[in-house]
Amino acid sequence: MCGIIGCVGRDERTVETLVHGLEKLEYRGYDSAGIGVVGDGLSVSKTAGEIEALSQKLSEQSLAGTVGIGHTRWSTHGPPTDENAHPHQDCTGRVAVVHNGIIENYQELREELTAAGHRFSSDTDTEVVPHLIEDALEAGAEPEAAFRSAIDRIDGSYAIGALIEGTEALFAARNDSPLVVGLGLDAEGDGSAELTGDGPYFIASDVPAFRDYTARVIYLEDGEFARLDGGVSVTDSDGIPVEKSVETITWDAEETGKSGYDHYMLKEIHEQPRALRQCLSGRIDELGGAVDIEEVGDLSPTGVQFVACGTSYHAGLYAAQLFNQAGVPAQAFLASEYASSPPPVGDDLVVGITQSGETADTLSALREAANRGAETLAVTNTVGSTAARECDHALYIRSGPEIGVAATKTFAGQLAALNLLSLATVEGGRSRRAVVPALRDLSGDIQHILDDSAASEVAEIYADSNAYFFIGRRYQFPVALEGALKLKEISYEHAEGFAAGELKHGPLALVTPNTPVFAIAIGDGDAARKTVGNIKEVEARGAPVVAVTDGRNDAAMYADYVLEVPETHPRAAALLANVQLQLLAYHIANDLGRPIDKPRNLAKSVTVE
């Protein structure tokens, strides 16, 4: 969702650093942007629209300071206007605040503050925070105490950064919303909660905001506060120092660039062969067929519940089939609905699938599972994320940074990692001997698709269709759902995914000659033969059909066009079919001129429920 950047120690480069950090956070989704800096005084510049509009406004102003904060806002309370953009200030203009999350008691606080004479200029929940700080300052509190006092009064989720005029320090706090601290290369610690040095020091909602300057980070936990000035000090809600370990980010800043591709999404689709090699590296014995995931130890669940949202939920549906096929009862739940689901039973394992490790609904579901006494595991791409830290175990998919809002390589990484989890915990030697070679060959098979896909030609033919249907069975059903989601996310066209057998139970009424059906038919077994039957039903009603197939069945015979995938194990074939559908969605959206990397109304990391 919204993006936060803050910095101390960049001096004359403060404004430049803040804008650069905001540009690195554009992928999170936003509709307004702003910065605030403290120098001789406190100055704020903000505007609705994109960062380019903010940069133009800054070129007409003279902002300078030694400490600053910046923000990209994704609208929740109030529309995207100049007034609703962050940072928000108090009545005196001495305080500036940026905030991600939702302040649940803001209406009550706003009414109280208004009655006390405070004037509000926005529709946001965030604006109560600077006014609360103002009240505490006027009551005689020192700046840090005033900040703490304000935080104590708010309920909800937040990552907050604050500036106070006359104080060359940056104050930060988090609760249920991610916030990471970046440490300059000369920062030194003595094992305590205090790190000192010339800096620079940063706060951000995500590492890419400051990765060009440092790879050394500490992650704030819920209820923790940070003060950044000539060093970094971290304390808990009672003001007691907290020792923090310094971690090093292993990916390069260059990995977040486009590398010559027109869009991040296309680059990340093409990065999938490498991402899968990283996911599998050191985890499979290609000769013996063994699978070893050191992170999960000797787990042997008698049942599994998967909780996830969006694309990750589709990965959960796929994983549930893996475990069920192995004889272990498994279900996938939408994380936002998990609170009303059946509780875990006995030695059930609850697996949260979340690319960012910060998805609010998934974190809430995992916490609910932990409260019920279940063992939990996070399948995530983000080392040090909240899900990874809070769960009993963490399985990293190792896909590298993903900037495009529409998940691509991380979905492939999730499917591969979940295969490994199933093979390592509940499946025997026969399955391993059959599946491991297919997993090993995935990178080469996907590269073959990337080199030879006809998706761009198919997209050009069907880019003006009224709607798009995607169908598949068994392992291919979640891929059909994901194909439809990708298309609707970035093209803004109506697309739906169905279990192929369900098409005749209602959705067939919507099929027309201008409704192409993308049918995934893999192998020559019963599922493929029945899917071919569904293709015939569609064809008889005049709808065009595009078959995604390995050629081992008759799907191509009844299709108008074919997107080919190499022959492989059905489990691995799901990943190959998915690549063809990713390319299809990309090219349709590109032909329609959509903003592919920043689709409207969507955000990369959804940190509110």
pLDDT in tens, 555-584: 899 999 999 999 999 999 999 999 999 999
* Selection from 176, 211, 310 nearest residue 599 by Cα: 310
Query: Strand 393-396 and strand 375-380: pairing?
Result: parallel
Residues of the chain with pLDDT below 50 are: 189-192
The answer to whether domain 257-440 and domain 448-609 are alike in fold is yes
Cis link prior to 87 (omega < 30° from 0)? yes
- CATH entry 3.40.50.10490 includes domain 257-440: yes
Residues 6 or more apart whose Cβ sits within 8 Å of residue 205: 2, 3, 4, 5, 25, 28, 100, 159, 177, 178, 179, 180, 605
Q: Please, are residues 363 and 387 in contact by the beta-carbon 8 Å criterion?
A: yes
Q: Rounded to two decimals, what is the model's pTM?
A: 0.81
Residues 6 or more apart whose Cβ sits within 8 Å of residue 588: 459, 462, 463, 487, 491, 493
Across the strands, what pairs with 396? Answer: 380
Q: Please, are residues 281 and 506 in contact by the beta-carbon 8 Å criterion?
A: no
CB-count burial class (<10 Å; 0-12, 13-18, 19+) for 248: exposed
Show the tokens assigned to 381: 């791409």
Whole-number pLDDT of residue 267? 92
Show the tokens assigned to 347: 């030695």
SS3 content of the chain, % helix, strand, coil (to 5): 40, 20, 40
Catalytic choice (46, 244, 486, 604): 604
Write the DSSP string, 336-359. GGGGGSPPP-TT-EEEEEESSS--
Whole-number pLDDT of residue 223? 92
Q: Please, are residues 147 and 90 in contact by the beta-carbon 8 Å criterion?
A: no
Domain limits of the chain?
3-249, 257-440, 448-609
Number of neighbouring beta carbons within 10 Å of residue 450: 17
Whole-number pLDDT of residue 339? 83
Hey, what CATH topology would domain 448-609 get? Rossmann fold (3.40.50)
Across the strands, what pairs with 234? Answer: 226
CATH architecture of the domain with residue range 3-249: 4-Layer Sandwich (3.60)
Whole-number pLDDT of residue 192? 44
Backbone angles phi, psi at 137, to 5 degrees: -65, -45
Across the strands, what pairs with 204? Answer: 5, 180
R_g over Cα of the chain: 25
Cα separation, 406 vs 260, in Å, equals 19
Show the tokens assigned to 522: 């893999």
486 is catalytic: no
Q: Please, are residues 7 and 201 in contact by the beta-carbon 8 Å criterion?
A: yes
Whole-number pLDDT of residue 422? 92
Backbone angles phi, psi at 54, to 5 degrees: -65, -45
Query: Strand 156-164 and strand 95-103: pairing?
Result: antiparallel
604 is catalytic: yes
